């Protein structure tokens, strides 16, 4: 059967997460419902990167199989019936063995911190009106590039076989509103980005020193990390696939 990759963006504020759940509104549930309406058959989606309740995405992926080729106008029709906080960015036919989760080579996240009260940022960032030490934030982000075991930053019940991750980018940069943290890696554990952000901000506020920050990493104990940052400040910006991935014959 033909396989397709569906790229979506969404504002996560009202969703209980990305993956379908019983008795909860999710991104996957809304997209499956829209596809069933248009195709008049049940479609089961496989997601690329699960996001928690309240987390947003600029670009995330599903893949799915259908009995026959889909019309070119399907993205337009999906956008017409999907809720306003979900949009379809692209629909691509791929080879039958393509997998949007296992074939991804990196994922890029952004966490937004704003430091002056701004009602227009309320659902798109974490309001943190405290002084932050820029040098400490930058140093902490650099240390993470030298780290491979992120056990301390994974929430319990992560259901993974390894806590090994490779980060390709980890940096803070100032914005007119406050600070953004950009991180890109081959994989991320459940709650990992928020745990990294919360613990680095503890250092940036002077609540822990750099020696303590390093000790938290080395302890491999998630009770020591800070998972306080809310989901509303987190954005999945991009899921990246190998070069020319979408040019493979189908």
* Angle formed at CA 85 by CA 82 and CA 88, multiple of 5 degrees: 55
Residue corresponding to tokens 């937004």: 112
The yes-or-no answer on residue 52 being catalytic is yes
The helix (H) or strand (E) run that includes residue 8 is strand 3-10
CA distance 148 to 130: 30
CA distance 19 to 139: 35
Q: Which of 22, 52, 65, 149 is catalytic?
A: 52
Tokens of 12: 């996560």
Tokens of 163: 């806590």
Provide the 3-class DSSP secondary structure of residue 62. Answer: strand
Pairing of strands 3-10, 86-94: antiparallel
φ, ψ at 23 (rounded to 5°): 55, 35
Return the active site residues: 52
């Amino acid at each position: 059967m033909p396989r397709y990759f569906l790229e979506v963006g969404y504002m996560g504020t009202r969703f209980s997460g990305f993956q379908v759940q019983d008795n909860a509104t999710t991104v996957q549930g809304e997209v499956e419902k829209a596809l069933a309406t248009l195709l008049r058959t049940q479609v089961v989606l496989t997601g690329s990167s699960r996001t928690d309740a309240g987390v947003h995405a600029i670009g995330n992926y599903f893949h799915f199989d259908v009995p026959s080729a889909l019309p070119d106008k399907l993205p337009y029709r999906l956008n017409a019936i999907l809720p306003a906080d979900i949009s379809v960015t692209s629909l691509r036919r791929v080879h039958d063995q393509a997998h949007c989760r296992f074939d991804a080579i990196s994922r890029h996240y952004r966490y937004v911190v704003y430091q002056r009260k701004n009602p227009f940022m309320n659902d798109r960032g974490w309001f943190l009106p405290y002084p932050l030490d820029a040098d400490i934030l930058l140093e902490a982000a650099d240390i993470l590039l030298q780290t491979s075991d992120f056990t301390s930053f994974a929430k319990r019940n992560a259901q993974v076989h390894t806590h090994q991750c490779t980060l390709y980018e980890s940096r803070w940069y100032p914005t007119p509103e406050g600070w953004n943290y950009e991180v890109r890696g081959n994989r991320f554990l459940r709650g990992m980005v928020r745990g990294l952000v919360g613990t680095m901000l503890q250092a940036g506020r002077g609540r822990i020193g750099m020696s303590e920050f390093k000790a938290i990493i080395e302890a491999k104990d998630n009770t020591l990390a800070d998972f306080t940052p809310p989901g509303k400040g987190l954005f999945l910006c991009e899921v990246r696939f190998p070069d020319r991935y979408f040019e493979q014959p189908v």
